[in-house]
Every structure is written in structure tokens, then in C-alpha cells.
Amino acid sequence: MKKQILTCTVNDQAVEVLVPPYQTLLDALREDLGLTGPKEGCGTGDCGACTVHLDGKPVASCLMLAMQARGRAVRTIEGLAKTGTLHPLQDAFVRHGVPQCGFCIPGVLMAAAAVLAENPRPTEQEIRYGIAGNLCRCTGYTKMLTAIIEAAGAGAPARREG
């Protein structure tokens, strides 16, 4: 059970790290790369707290083996916006008082960013289905919808490459 070398891009940085073959992408991000934004809420793909982008698409990182990210581009919440700035979604979430306990928020933002990247002017239903894979127990989702619709209207940027 020797470790293997994972070479990929994470938040636009080239990364090379030794990972156990049985490690998930989620754990590699959190423990080897110190990116603790993505969370484990269930470990089985049923809650969305671990959502990251893989080549721009939202995936459940708890269901991927770390080595399956080889040669690919991963983006976590820490890389959603340039350091020191906020993505329009993040800014809207803050102003509308969306986060309560905050545990689901990184996953929701990554899912929402993916919705807007694929569909810059989504309907409310399209947004609801786009974040339906993200369970939230605190907010009831309503303020999330308000914030996402506002960010969409403000012209959130098109999908970042990778």
C-alpha cells in the first residue's frame, strides 16, 4: 500500500503530493494541502458539503479517490475568488445574511458557481435543482436563492478556465 504521487492543479497552482492510494480527494485536499474549506458531512455523496470543481464541473470529492484527480484541475472554495477579493456570490451571501452555522456554505457556493458558469441567467427552479445536492439544515435555502439570483443578475463572471 505504497503512497502514490498525485500531480494536478489545485486552485490554479501546480501541485505534487504523496497520497495513500485509499485516500479520497476530499481528505487529500483537507489534510495534505490544508484546504479545509470542503467538508465531510456524510462521506457518501448525499449532502454536498464536499463539493469542489473538477475541470470546472461540480463533483462530490468524498466519492473520488485522490489519484483520480491526476492531471486534472481542482478548485475549492478557497480558490473561488482571487485572494483578498470576494466572488459576487460570496459577497451576496454575506450581505443577505445567508451563513448560519456555515458548514454547508463552501459546498453551496461551489455548486452555485457552477450553475452560473453553465447558465448565467438561471431561473429560480434551475438554481434550486443546481443546489439540490447541497443539504442545509440551518437556513431553509430561501436566502441562498435570493443571494444567488442577485449575483446572477449582477453578472457573475463566466466559468474560469479549469
Asked if 39 interacts with other proteins (CB under 8 A), we say: yes
Nearer CB in complex with other proteins: 15/67:
67
Within positions 52 to 71, which residues make up the interface with other proteins, using CB under 8 A? 54, 57-60, 62-65, 67-68, 70
Within positions 89 to 108, which residues make up the interface with other proteins, using CB under 8 A? 89-90, 93-106
Using CB under 8 A, pick the residue from 7, 119, 123, 142 that binds other proteins.
Answer: 142
- Are the CB atoms for 54 and 10 separated by under 8 Å? no
CB of 77 to other proteins, least distance (A): 4
Asked if 122 interacts with other proteins (CB under 8 A), we say: no
Tell me if residue 50 falls in helix, strand or coil. coil
- Are the CB atoms for 38 and 76 separated by under 8 Å? yes
Using CB under 8 A, pick the residue from 7, 12, 138, 154 that binds other proteins.
Answer: 138
User: DSSP states of 98-144 as a string?
Assistant: --SS-SSHHHHHHHHHHHHHH-SS--HHHHHHHTTT---SSS-SHHH
Asked if 134 interacts with other proteins (CB under 8 A), we say: yes
How big is the site for other proteins, counted in residues (CB under 8 A)? 83
Say how far apart CA 91 and CA 55 lie, in whole Å. Answer: 24
Asked if 38 interacts with other proteins (CB under 8 A), we say: yes
- H or E element that contains 53: strand 51-54
